[in-house]
Amino acid sequence: MTKLIVEGMNCGHCVKAVTEALEGVSGVESVAEVSLETGAAVVQGEADVAALIAAIEEKGFAAKAA
């Protein structure tokens, strides 16, 4: 399980965009949570953290490991 902090989400569309970005990363088994309220994303699987962060940043959001 990998937890990330995502900055810049402010609506449901943002949550969907981040979720879809994470689902596209190799090694992700599932996206357990992307929370607008907490600004956190939780991913199940063996994906590289740098790849997860890059996918989120490609969508226009800032991200870092929690």
- Parts of the chain with a pLDDT under 50: none
3-state SS, one letter per residue, for the chain: CEEEEEECCCCHHHHHHHHHHHHCCCCEEEEEEEECCCCEEEEEECCCHHHHHHHHHHCCCEEEEC
Task: Report the pLDDT value the prediction gives residue 49, as an integer from 0 to 100.
Answer: 97
Task: Report the pLDDT value the prediction gives residue 31, as an integer from 0 to 100.
Answer: 97
Task: Report the pLDDT value the prediction gives residue 42, as an integer from 0 to 100.
Answer: 98
Q: Within 10 Å of residue 6's Cβ, how many Cβ atoms?
A: 26
Task: Report the pLDDT value the prediction gives residue 53, as an integer from 0 to 100.
Answer: 98
Task: Report the pLDDT value the prediction gives residue 29, as an integer from 0 to 100.
Answer: 97
34, β-bridge pairs: 41
